[in-house]
A and B are shown apart, each in its own frame.
Chain A
Amino acid sequence: MGRYVVRRLIEAVPVLVLASLLVFSLLHFIPGDPASALADPEATQEEVQALRERLGLDRPVLVQLKNWWLSLLQGDLGDSFRTGRPVSEMIRINALPTLELATVSYMLTLTLGISFGVMAGVKVRSAWDWGVSLSTVVFIAIPNFVFGVVLLWLLAFTFGWLPIGGRVAIWDDPVAGIKTLILPALTLGLTQAAVLARYTRTAVSQVTQQQYVMTARAKGLAERVVVVRHVLKNSLIPTITLSGLQVASILTGSVVIERVFSRPGLGRVVVDSVQARDIPTIQGTLLVLVSVFILVNLIADLLYGVVDPRIRLES
């Protein structure tokens, strides 16, 4: 297992380096001269030149790249054009509400997705099964932000059970904090749970048809033991793959869902930065998010090794 972990860790490094290279080059993708494109349209020649120097664009590209990597290693993501504050500080402040939403949504996704998926997969063509299939179709046609607005309309506007939006920090006022979290978390969690349930259902139903499951049943094991010990473990691989990918979907989804419920967070930072063409902030946020995804994929890979010894022994 140790060698497997080390190999996977080493494999993740080049992807991370390439990703940072790609994020670095974003600034150079700007059509024409980046400095004059980003400067105020009425800026003087001197101001454009000053901006060029501030961005380091007056130096050779390789020097720029070296400096960018050096400051990354020191945790310095540059300063925002829009607010003038360090990007790392803006990310740190705004990451918390996003992480809060993403974590709760992800827990909902895993619990609902896997449990409904297993129930549907064990008894194909049962009521559970139809329910799972139907909800997946519904959530394919309804994007998460539309579902969010529908929930907002139904539970907050019509029934008035929950607040329309905003965020209260949980440690300031636990009850209000949870109330503002319920709708966004339900929106994200349910849409992703439907996808995971569908996947888990297919994996479980395929494993259930295998002969060793019949053997397990034939030797008189309780259904619960058959499902938990024999079926579940072997059907977990596709489920783990998908749940790894879903971390990305949920973080991306938070960016959009935050807008639905007017929540602060990374979503707002990113959207404001696009409108202001605040490239350093975009680069910083992009880099942080991509590093998270690479890390999550790594964890998913390591989990394969835990669940299925064949995978870790192969290496």
Chain B
Amino acid sequence: MSEAIVGVEPSRETTRTRRADSLWWSTAREVLLKNPMGATGAIILLALIIGGLGAPLIAPHDPLEQFRGSRFETPSMAHWAGTDALSRDLFSRILYGLRASLMVSIVAVGIGTVVGVSLGLIAGYAGGIADSVIMRFVDTMMAFPGLILAIGLLAVFGVGLQSVALALGIGAWPNFARLARGQMLAERPRDYVTAARALGASSKRIIFRHISINAMPPLIVQVALSMATAVLAEAALGFLGIGTVAPNPSLGSLINDARARLDLPYLLIFPAAALGLFLLSLNLLADAINDALDPHRQRR
């Protein structure tokens, strides 16, 4: 008897994996091929990711290099987006600002997702005291508006990119926890959970291998939305001058620089366009994923 179950094990595993895979593929197909908005968002985002993460390879100049005698040069072949007050190449600074923004938001959302989803799933599965304690904490965290909390935490951790990523991650997890808990409550009474338990699966295995896969769709949308929130917050902190440390660029600090020279609109236009496209692409993508995963809209 026990041998028979052991024999069944691998094939059940494959079925689950294949189902999860097909969910990913059908979602991706839906988002990229059938939804022009989603495709546009994905293409813009991809270009920005290549530009940001590949900044050391792509940027024509070092973002901190000063070109003597070329202060506030308007865009030209030598400096595609012009130069700033300290004669630095603005295009290169935008690429590095994008890079900082990407890294901060990826780390922040990573922290938020891992911590939030784990705590949310545990709260929903365990119920009782654990649930009350975790959710009270979530409620309290959510009473703090994101940016204000981040600013407070920056005072504690000290200014710098790592602090910003950590602070934004701490602000992001309650949303994930709340969502994951809701999903857990919806999934827990399903037959497949009972079946897994009847087969002797441990709670840990049921939570993290069975339920988490099925609870995924709304969380994916939340990841995209949280990315947009993190990008926006990072830019706002940079604008306030408490994001990156001085000479290093962030999209927000570049926009703050532009405020000092309103007679030179190119200082504003390029960084603002980069930030705007970044936010737009993330939102388009989040909308498209949401549509693709919404069972009511699924076209067969």
Contact = CB atoms under 8 A, between A and B. Distances in A.
A18 B148 contact: no
B158 interface: yes
B263 A157 contact: yes
Contacts of A164: 262
A30 B255 contact: no
A57 interface: no
A31 interface: yes
A141 B281 CA distance: 9
B154 to A, nearest CB: 5
Interface in B253-290: 255-256, 258-259, 262-263, 265, 268, 272, 275-277, 279-280, 283
B111 interface: no
Contact of B156 (A156, A256, A279): A279
A140 B279 contact: yes
A140 B224 CA distance: 14
B232 A143 contact: yes
B147 A273 contact: no
A22 interface: yes
Contacts of A153: 262, 265, 268
A29 B141 CA distance: 15
B144 A19 contact: yes
Contacts of B280: 137, 140-141
Contacts of B151: 255, 270-271, 274, 282
Interface in B129-151: 136-137, 139-141, 143-149, 151
A58 B262 CA distance: 51
Interface residues of B, number: 44
Interface string B30-67: 00000000000000000000000000000000000000
A153 B283 CA distance: 27
B145 A143 contact: no
A26 B242 CA distance: 18
A266 to B, nearest CB: 10
Contacts of A70: none
A294 B141 CA distance: 11
Interface in A13-27: 14-15, 18-19, 22-23, 26-27
Given A149-B258, A282-B155, 20 more contacts: A15-B136, A18-B136, A19-B140, A19-B144, A30-B156, A141-B279, A142-B276, A149-B272, A248-B145, A251-B145, A259-B240, A271-B151, A271-B240, A274-B151, A274-B242, A275-B241, A282-B156, A286-B144, A286-B149, A286-B152
Interface of B: 136-137, 139-141, 143-149, 151-159, 232, 235-236, 239-242, 252, 255-256, 258-259, 262-263, 265, 268, 272, 275-277, 279-280, 283
